[in-house]
Structure 1
Amino acid sequence: MSLSPLQLPLPLQTSLKATSRGTAPGWAVKQRQLFDLLNESAKRFIAKYTRPDGTLIWRNDWPGMDGSDDPYEGFMNLALLHALGGDDFLHEASRRIWEGITFQWTEYGQIHREFDAYYDWMHHGEGYLYFYFLGLSGPALLKDRQRAVRFANMYTGDDAEAPNYDKEKKLIRSPLNGSKGPRFIASAEDWSTHRGILDNYLAPYEDIPGVDFASRKCKWSDDTIYAHLLSMMNERMNRGDVPLNLNATGLVANAFMHTADDKYKQWVVDYLAAWSERAARNGGLIPDNVGLNDEIGEYNDGKWWGGYYGYRWPHGFMTVIEPITNATMNAVLLTGDMEQLGLARRQIDLNWSLRKQSEDGRTVVPYKHFDAGWADFREASVRYPIYLWTVSMAAEDLERINRIPKSYNWDEVVIPNVSGKDALTGRDTKHFISNTEPWFRYMNGELPDYPDRILDANFKLITKQLDRMDSPMGDPAQWSSSYNDDDFSSIHIWQELCPVYMESLVQLTLGGPMHISHGGFQHGRFRYFDGDRKRVGLPLDTAALVEQLSDDSATLHLVNTSMFESHTVVIQGGTFGEHDIISATVLDTEDQAGQTVQVNSKWLQVELLPGAAIRLSLMMSRYVNEPTYDGPWSRKSVEPLLTGRTE
């Protein structure tokens, strides 16, 4: 990739050189083999399911509001793979396909001004991960920056065409929102593509005529019941704010990282604070609905439960705590203030305080609240405390993790499937993310063979996905014309077939768990750049392993697997440059300290001669820099954005 006009060389003040040839460890060889497999799999996936213009080979219509997120999800990892060090072709291909999907779903009628016209922030969050990954797959283009600002302004109250945000009351005005503003009234067509799927879901309310709430099923496909559903949801659910909208903090934080404009940082902090105040008003527990006047339960008979994607319908606590976790992590990223994690910590603690013993002796917590009280008691998820711990490195978050009984084997490395749950552990596998627990164990000095095991599992997953691509279901000509096929949902098909999944590479190289699938940034302790080719990602032949993390340090192992070529890697503190590297100490195989150099920068350059490796103990100061997508060669004073007509 050539050096673009928006990049200027930036001298790196500190560098190290690894000179001694050696035999590459097994994990390093597997890492590079996995990059090769992913690159080739990406080419085949693109060739089979997209046209040259980036549009997808698919049906000629899609009438419902649910769906623009899914094609983005199916192809978003092309950009993430490039950011990690995947082939150069991925930079162009990931942008071309993003443009193709955006055009295609505009023609279907759901995307407007390049952003989803209206839907909820569980689905916006999933789909716009692609957009965030494009930021990491830099250098940023004018289109990236222009869109980041335009999209964020739809949620800061600065876009008259999309009046989603009430600046005075600090609330997003509907759970259904987007480039056309709040959607207070949903139509019959909006839900048309998913009526069959929703037949198997819990009813949104206990008093829907013709529905037995106790059956845990609601017949959306029945026209009479469907009419009642639409009327009741429009009356009770589609006006006012819900915690799910906290996922919008990612879109606004994304704009900050493209612009460094403090108004976006302030919006994230203010909106999170508004929800903290609502929780305080509700006795500490965050309500799942407030009306347009910021009154809890304003359209719901005063009930703090029963909002859209709230405590009752459809998933319960998961879709309350996830956006809170995302928002609090975003606020720490932007401010460096660990107190911003408070709302997530308090909600996890309150949920834990409601625990009880099940009949089979397990410790369970409630995931739902009905009119009769707390319900749907299940084991607490360890994922959200782990995410908080990766940010805070605090003892209190470690305690939140360790208090949860290990009712399944946290050491088990899982090969995820497409069902949404792994059959062995019951772990969620959305976006094929399933090994957060064993990664956490490895970071805490357990599971020394975890790198090899997770890489092996990743190879098996890709092999399975390639087999699925080659099977009859992988042939686009065979896909059903039904909106709700019995074998697979046609709108999810690209996710179910995609072979470009790399949980192992993210965990091992960046030093963090995979993103929260419903809109979370890809946080990590490090990011890398190729010092020779002046591009994002690990250089060719180079492998990286984060072996240990603490509040003020990390241990990093770099290996050049080529016996003939030298490579220069630039280590960055934090995925978004939020951390400084204070010093670097070379470690031998017995962890004995050797040379120490002072760095005092977010970047450290390491030259790896052929076959050379180096282990470094890096002292760090975390969350001291404003986060940005800029790399070590990006020019800070970028060209101004384009401005349009005013009349």
Structure 2
Amino acid sequence: MSHGQGEAEAAPPRVTASVPVGVPPLWAVLQRRLFDALDEAWRAFARRYCAPDGGLRYEGPSASRDGADDFYEAFFNWPTLYQLGGADDLLDAAKHHWLGVTAQLTERGYVVDEFERGYDWFHLGESMLLFYGICAADPGDEHFEARAHRFAELYLPSSPTGNYDPEAAVIRAPHNGAGGPRYGINEEWASYGTGLASMRPYGLPLRDLPGISSWADLADPANAARMGAAMRERIGRGDAVVNLAATSLATNAWLYGHDDRYRDWALGYVAAWRRRAEECGGVLPDNVGPSGRVGELHGGRWYGGNYGWTWPHGLYSVGNAAVIAAVNSVLLTGRTDGLDIGRGPLDLVARHAVTGAVTDTEMSISDRWYAELGEDAARPTLLVPNRYADGGWFDYQPPQLALPVWLWHAGAAAEDAERIERLRAAGGYDWRTVRCFRNKEEAGHEAPWLAYLRGENPDYPTAVLGVALAQVERRMALIAADTTTPGSLDIHHWQRHNPVLTEALLHLTTGTPQVLYNGGLLPLRLAYEDARRGRPGLPADIAALVDDIGPDRTCVQLVHTGLTGTRRVVVRAGSFGEHRIETVRLDTLRSGAAGPGYPGDPRAYTAPETVTGTRELPVGGPRLEVELPPGRRVRLELRLTPRAYPAAHHRPARPAP
């Protein structure tokens, strides 16, 4: 079995850090403290909420289709923390919980042969984040590699599940999985009435049924039954645009050994949706009927499908799926032309933007914006429509920055950088402000991070690390104060208590945005390996800070915060090894004008002046090894050729002597 290129690569060039740390930078101290705090925190979570077999302690009811994602989401970012440098036993813990939850959900009827029986990819994508993270953190695990292939096979044209119709180029139902197309909707929605109070903010699922023009009309049982029947017939069949997130399954499998069957299916499926967008005048539709015709079940409308432009989330679901597919296209081809499918929805809503305050605007998801904007929620700012129905655009909200940021991250194209700049210029708030919150996606700090990379927010590293530590502290306090029992807690309870945070570490150590929560893979801009120990992540005592990013350049500081033990760090340009480092420029220590240089004469009361210079060396490969003696630091300016190699899962090299 292939495990990528890791074992076949030549030993990377090595440089040695020589500049004394001196006064330790606060960001480096806080970063290492965060690693330590997270190590304590995930263990506390596991003790409180997990059974010995790895499953979650839960004795409550099961919904007919919804809910499996919530079990996996409790651990969604644990493998990522390991990949960044978390505890040695964290990877085994993540696998243990994946296996335990999978067995638990199998018993409850959600899972068949280790994969969900059938649900929409807005939620399936959330379920898969833990699995994708394990695959990326340990591509050498043959059991998870076999699962990756088996899960991707479910959507190939040859699969006996029948999920995919190659003639119409459609996934046959919005709910799909190991059991094949799962037609219909949640059984709880068979009568879709006003008793479903949690769905009220999203309004009517279908808006063209005679006699049902408002939410209040669903109080009539007859109307509720008609709505449920129409949803089953029209929303429960055909293809939905959120199924684009299934391309992550195929891409993840392809990354193991470049089996072109997976690549060809994913690219062909994305191409089918691109053609549909062209047929709709550049608008990415949200629904396709069984025959492959847009609007077949919705009176010819390009909107109205499950988790589509009209209901329940609009851009929040459509945009995520489109950008996930766009990023996967780049990984599969090494080209950036596939980013257009993700750009289209963002540019579409931007053409209908308005200015308004969050506090004065009716929107379906407001709580996230009150947290993200704080007092600025009352200031006029750019709002884009998230949804569309017969009456036009509605549900105006601030732009979800993660989407344009991921397009920029994937391709480094000027047009994607310009799109972000337009959003910044039109925003009515200061992008430098770092607020203390954590949302479901563990995202939302993109604006101050981008301001930092522009050189306008120098305090961002310490501020966001402080926020992360405060959020870990709060989650630990919530766990300590929690008196719920397995039979009384809500299935979202674990997500709200998960104390593992990775957004700040991803920004600072790798130069990467937080993963797209509805099923994205996580191609890191920079990845690290502990050369002595042969495992992913930063070694003990080492802190990293990506402080500048360009289309062909990444700059990172590495600091040894300890007092003993030389560390050897392998820096990889792209966690999937896709970029080539052409040269590295690094700062070096020179001897002082007088005397022997650092650390100087022991009889002196102060260290000698530190004089630094720079040197540039060729690299010519995807990796560079950096030796860091205790109390030393280095800044690396890596000049890159982006996407020079096929993306692949990579195993760390064997431990160096």
TM-score (norm 1): 0.88
Between 1:392-401 and 1:534-543, the stretch displaced more is: 392-401
Between 1:536-545 and 1:620-629, the stretch displaced more is: 620-629
Gaps of 5+ in 2: 361-379, 590-609
2: CA distance between counterparts of 1:50 and 1:569? 34
Matched with 2:626 is: 606
SS at match of 2:555: strand
Residue 275, structure 1, aligned to residue 265, structure 2? no
1: CA distance between counterparts of 2:21 and 2:508? 21
Match of 2:447 among 437, 457, 467: 437
Alignment of 1:444-455 (within 5 A): 444-455=454-465
Displacement of 1:378: 3.5
Alignment of 1:397-436 (within 5 A): 397-404=416-423, 405-417=426-438, 429-436=439-446
For the Cα contact (< 8 Å) 1:58–1:476, is it kept in 2?
no
Matched with 2:177 is: 178
Deviation per CA, 1:159-190: give whole Å up to 9, x if none.
Answer: 20x21111222211111111111112235257
1: CA distance between counterparts of 2:487 and 2:496? 13
- Give, as a single letter, the amino acid of the residue that structure 2 aligns with 1:26: L
Displacement of 1:132: 0.8
Matched with 2:647 is: 627
Residues 509/591 of structure 1: CA separation in 2 closer, same or farther (3 Å cut): farther
Alignment of 1:31-50 (within 5 A): 31-50=31-50
Gaps of 5+ in 1: 418-428, 482-489, 636-647
Matched with 2:294 is: 296
Matched with 1:375 is: 394
Matched with 2:474 is: 464
Matched with 1:393 is: 412
Deviation per CA, 1:257-306: give whole Å up to 9, x if none.
Answer: 12221221222221111111000111111111110111111011111111
For the Cα contact (< 8 Å) 1:51–1:57, is it kept in 2?
yes
Deviation per CA, 1:433-456: give whole Å up to 9, x if none.
Answer: 120111111112220111101100
2: CA distance between counterparts of 1:232 and 1:532? 61
1: CA distance between counterparts of 2:430 and 2:242? 31
Residues 156/454 of structure 1: CA separation in 2 closer, same or farther (3 Å cut): same
Matched with 1:475 is: 483
Residues 501/357 of structure 1: CA separation in 2 closer, same or farther (3 Å cut): closer
1: CA distance between counterparts of 2:334 and 2:250? 17
- Give, as a single letter, the amino acid of the residue that structure 1 aligns with 2:452: Y
Matched with 1:557 is: 557
Deviation per CA, 1:14-33: give whole Å up to 9, x if none.
Answer: 01111444333111111111
Displacement of 1:369: 1.4
Matched with 1:326 is: 324
Identity of aligned residues (%): 36
For the Cα contact (< 8 Å) 2:553–2:640, is it kept in 1?
yes
Matched with 2:130 is: 130
Displacement of 1:198: 2.4
Displacement of 1:207: 4.4
Matched with 2:104 is: 104
2: CA distance between counterparts of 1:283 and 1:103? 46
Residues 621/202 of structure 1: CA separation in 2 closer, same or farther (3 Å cut): same
SS at match of 1:245: helix
- Give, as a single letter, the amino acid of the residue that structure 2 aligns with 1:604: L
2: CA distance between counterparts of 1:335 and 1:158? 23
Matched with 2:77 is: 77
SS at match of 2:512: coil
The two structures, once aligned, show a CA RMSD in angstroms of 2.6
SS at match of 1:437: helix
Matched with 2:51 is: 51
Deviation per CA, 1:292-339: give whole Å up to 9, x if none.
Answer: 111111011111111111111001122111111111111012211111
2: CA distance between counterparts of 1:213 and 1:100? 44
1: CA distance between counterparts of 2:494 and 2:223? 32
1: CA distance between counterparts of 2:544 and 2:633? 10
SS at match of 2:492: helix
For the Cα contact (< 8 Å) 1:63–1:192, is it kept in 2?
no
1: CA distance between counterparts of 2:43 and 2:418? 44
Displacement of 1:229: 3.1
Residues 262/451 of structure 1: CA separation in 2 closer, same or farther (3 Å cut): same
Displacement of 1:592: 7.8
For the Cα contact (< 8 Å) 1:64–1:190, is it kept in 2?
no
- Paired positions, count: 606
Matched with 1:120 is: 120
SS at match of 2:572: strand
SS at match of 1:501: coil
Matched with 1:616 is: 636
- Give, as a single letter, the amino acid of the residue that structure 1 aligns with 2:171: I
2: CA distance between counterparts of 1:559 and 1:352? 42
Matched with 1:642 is: none
Residues 358/462 of structure 1: CA separation in 2 closer, same or farther (3 Å cut): closer
Matched with 2:600 is: none
Alignment of 1:146-165 (within 5 A): 146-160=146-160, 162-165=161-164
Residues 469/362 of structure 1: CA separation in 2 closer, same or farther (3 Å cut): closer
Matched with 1:166 is: 165
For the Cα contact (< 8 Å) 2:530–2:569, is it kept in 1?
yes
Matched with 2:66 is: 66
Larger Rg: 2
1: CA distance between counterparts of 2:611 and 2:420? 28
Residues 408/186 of structure 1: CA separation in 2 closer, same or farther (3 Å cut): same
Deviation per CA, 1:319-370: give whole Å up to 9, x if none.
Answer: 1111111111110122111111112223322222233456987554322111
Residues 190/510 of structure 1: CA separation in 2 closer, same or farther (3 Å cut): farther
Matched with 2:368 is: none
Between 1:430-439 and 1:598-607, the stretch displaced more is: 430-439
Matched with 1:640 is: none
TM-score (norm 2): 0.87
Displacement of 1:115: 0.7
For the Cα contact (< 8 Å) 1:256–1:264, is it kept in 2?
yes
Displacement of 1:73: 0.8
Matched with 1:244 is: 242
SS at match of 1:323: helix
1: CA distance between counterparts of 2:122 and 2:459? 35
Residues 496/277 of structure 1: CA separation in 2 closer, same or farther (3 Å cut): same
- Give, as a single letter, the amino acid of the residue that structure 2 aligns with 1:459: L
SS at match of 1:431: coil
Matched with 2:11 is: 12
For the Cα contact (< 8 Å) 1:587–1:617, is it kept in 2?
no
Matched with 2:205 is: 204
For the Cα contact (< 8 Å) 1:20–1:609, is it kept in 2?
no
- Give, as a single letter, the amino acid of the residue that structure 1 aligns with 2:444: S
Between 1:269-278 and 1:227-236, the stretch displaced more is: 227-236
- Give, as a single letter, the amino acid of the residue that structure 2 aligns with 1:628: A
Matched with 1:508 is: 508
2: CA distance between counterparts of 1:80 and 1:218? 44
SS at match of 1:599: strand
Matched with 2:315 is: 317
- Give, as a single letter, the amino acid of the residue that structure 2 aligns with 1:480: S
1: CA distance between counterparts of 2:355 and 2:443? 29
Alignment of 1:184-223 (within 5 A): 184-186=183-185, 188-189=187-188, 195-207=196-208, 211-213=212-214
For the Cα contact (< 8 Å) 2:202–2:313, is it kept in 1?
no
1: CA distance between counterparts of 2:6 and 2:458? 40
For the Cα contact (< 8 Å) 1:351–1:366, is it kept in 2?
yes
SS at match of 1:430: coil
Match of 1:366 among 370, 374, 385: 385
Residues 182/312 of structure 1: CA separation in 2 closer, same or farther (3 Å cut): same
1: CA distance between counterparts of 2:210 and 2:430? 44
1: CA distance between counterparts of 2:112 and 2:496? 27
For the Cα contact (< 8 Å) 1:63–1:108, is it kept in 2?
no
Residues 274/246 of structure 1: CA separation in 2 closer, same or farther (3 Å cut): same
Matched with 1:349 is: 347
1: CA distance between counterparts of 2:197 and 2:621? 55
